[in-house]
Structure 1
Amino acid sequence: MSSSFRTASPLLLAILSVLWVSPSLATQEVRVGAAHFPPYTVRPESGADTGLLPELVDALNALQTDYKFVLVPTSIPRRFGDFKQARVDMAIFENPDWGWKDIPHTNVDMGLEDAEIFVAQQEPDRQQNYFDDLKGKRLALFSGYHYEFANFNADPKFLAQNFNATLTYSHDSNLLMVLRGRADIALVTRSYLFDYLLRNEKVAGQLLVSQRTDQIYHHYALIRPQAPITGEAFGKLLQGLRDNGQMLKIFDPYKIAVVPVSAPGTASVPQVAK
């Protein structure tokens, strides 16, 4: 073996070592909170990778190598504490009005819109005006959701006392309550109802779906201040998925609208009394 080769070998090995290691060192893990919110996230605590959030995370990871997005199971009530205590870096399919106003974060407009709609049992004389007044009607609601008709107050006692509400953790259960006459109206995410009717075609004629919406879900990603990714960087990744058609491919089948976005990375900091 020549002396020049022996001299070059350590240098060559060092270069190859850097090239081999650097991609893994450059990849930063971003922990995404996954709370049961069908059809976006379905029972993440069970370990099943089902729902739109796992699809979105897979698309984000396939798009680039700077960040690795991983799902961390949480729950609707627990997600605030997990976010504040840095167990998760990001909450997706959120809205700043849903209990986040006092928690520092950065908003990223995802450019996605869904809706919360009213569903009742179909009866011969029942028309759309049935949904105009909720007083005296038994409501079936999803526990932990923030509804506009209740001024976004998700407290179970408040909803039960003021709106005769029964709260569950299942849209299916709420719709069954309506079909069996145990509730007058259920509030259901439009995307979930569309999926439910595809899976249960026989009951479509038994349900009256409101033209009235309780609220339009304009979805945001909320990023904690010390997260490994910035709002601007995440906004660019979402734009990449819009450009390559993945956003439309993932969300359009559920009738979730892909709409124009506002400027990414809007900071939201709680106001402190002086």
Structure 2
Amino acid sequence: MKIRLALLLCLSLHLVPSQAQEAIRVGVELQPYQPYSEVENGEYRGYARELLDAFAAEQGYRFVYTPLPVRRLLGDFLGGRVDLKFPDHPQWNADQKAGHPVRYSQPAAPYVDGVLVKPQYLGQGKARIRLLGTQNGFTPWPYLEDIRAQRIKLIQANQIESLLLMAASDRVDAVYLNPRVVTHQLRQMRLAPDALVFDPQLAHVEDHYYLSSIHHPELIEAFDRFLERRAELVAAIRLRHGL
């Protein structure tokens, strides 16, 4: 009887997926960026957390989230100190990623990055923008030519809250950020929801965030299958977070 129990125990251990045996380190951004993500009391939260948790639960993975400043996150990712990175994009830090076989997932979260101005400046075009604020780590792609030609001066800050206050007090002419994130932040700051508004007539970027890995392409393949197979669940998570 004891031999039979030992054999059953051994077999059951072999049936446990190997990925459940060790933690998978997921590198994420420390900066608050709701509704996509934030870190509160050391806990990673938001749309990204719910999406990745749903994937991990279905596949039997054990994810450990490691929130890091944007630049350190890139270094830890390229150095192999985290297994997965979210968010990521093929265009981001392409020169630093050169030589690393980065594998990107299918689109995991839609986003828009663009220019937000005070309501009275809406529709007045690019010509009035001399000082453009954005967050450290952000690249205002549609305005790089103007910045390099010194037609626009780029002002960067670590905190979105600081940028919004600068725009509200006319210390910058506009900010280049994600409108959904700005809306959330204005609410948190108890400012009017239309204190800054997205100007769709100005150049902006509509794209997606991706999950990436260097050393574990099999995880990206599994995530892609999850996105396709559980499309309804993914859509419900997006709706829940206003995406």
TM-score by structure 1 length?
0.74
Aligned residue number for residue 140 of structure 1: 133
Shift of 1:179: 1.0
Shift of 1:26: 4.7
Tell me how far apart the structure 1 counterparts of residues 216 and 199 of structure 2 sit (CA, whole Å).
40
Tell me how far apart the structure 2 counterparts of residues 89 and 134 of structure 1 sit (CA, whole Å).
44
Aligned residue number for residue 238 of structure 2: 251
Structure number with bigger Rg: 1
Aligned residue number for residue 166 of structure 2: 177
CA shift digits 1:129-173 (9 cap, x unpaired): x233365x2111100112212449xxxxx78x6632221122222
CA contact 1:117–1:190 (8 Å) conserved in 2: yes
Shift of 1:22: 4.2
| SS of equivalent residue, structure 1 residue 220 | strand
| SS of equivalent residue, structure 2 residue 91 | coil
Aligned residue number for residue 98 of structure 1: 92
**Cα distance change of structure 1 residues 253 and 175 upon mapping to structure 2, 3 Å threshold:** farther
Amino acid at match of 2:3: P
User: Paired residues, what number?
Assistant: 236
Aligned residue number for residue 205 of structure 2: 215
Shift of 1:219: 1.8
Shift of 1:50: 2.3
Aligned residue number for residue 12 of structure 2: 19
CA contact 1:30–1:227 (8 Å) conserved in 2: no
Amino acid at match of 1:79: L
Equivalent position to 1:165, from 154, 175, 182: 154
RMSD, aligned CA? 3.0
Shift of 1:85: 1.2
Aligned residue number for residue 81 of structure 1: 75
Tell me how far apart the structure 2 counterparts of residues 178 and 64 of structure 1 sit (CA, whole Å).
45
CA contact 1:118–1:131 (8 Å) conserved in 2: no
CA contact 1:192–1:254 (8 Å) conserved in 2: no
Tell me how far apart the structure 1 counterparts of residues 128 and 225 of structure 2 sit (CA, whole Å).
42
CA contact 2:44–2:65 (8 Å) conserved in 1: no
Tell me how far apart the structure 2 counterparts of residues 165 and 228 of structure 1 sit (CA, whole Å).
37
Tell me how far apart the structure 1 counterparts of residues 15 and 63 of structure 2 sit (CA, whole Å).
18
**Cα distance change of structure 1 residues 205 and 16 upon mapping to structure 2, 3 Å threshold:** closer
- Counting only pairs closer than 5 Å after superposition, residues 229-248 of structure 1 correspond to structure 2 as 229-243=218-232, 245=233, 247-248=234-235
Aligned residue number for residue 41 of structure 1: 37
Whether 1:110 and 2:97 are equivalent positions in the alignment is no
Whether 1:53 and 2:48 are equivalent positions in the alignment is yes
CA shift digits 1:19-74 (9 cap, x unpaired): 15642645253221111261223247x61322322222222222231x22221222
Amino acid at match of 1:117: G
Unpaired segments ≥5 residues, structure 2:
none
Amino acid at match of 1:204: P
Tell me how far apart the structure 2 counterparts of residues 37 and 214 of structure 1 sit (CA, whole Å).
22
| SS of equivalent residue, structure 1 residue 62 | helix
**Cα distance change of structure 1 residues 216 and 85 upon mapping to structure 2, 3 Å threshold:** same
**Cα distance change of structure 1 residues 105 and 230 upon mapping to structure 2, 3 Å threshold:** same
CA contact 2:55–2:223 (8 Å) conserved in 1: no
Aligned residue number for residue 119 of structure 2: 122
Tell me how far apart the structure 2 counterparts of residues 242 and 227 of structure 1 sit (CA, whole Å).
23
Name which of structure 1's ranges 109-118 and 16-25 shifts more when overlaid on structure 2.
16-25
CA contact 1:191–1:254 (8 Å) conserved in 2: no
Aligned residue number for residue 155 of structure 1: none
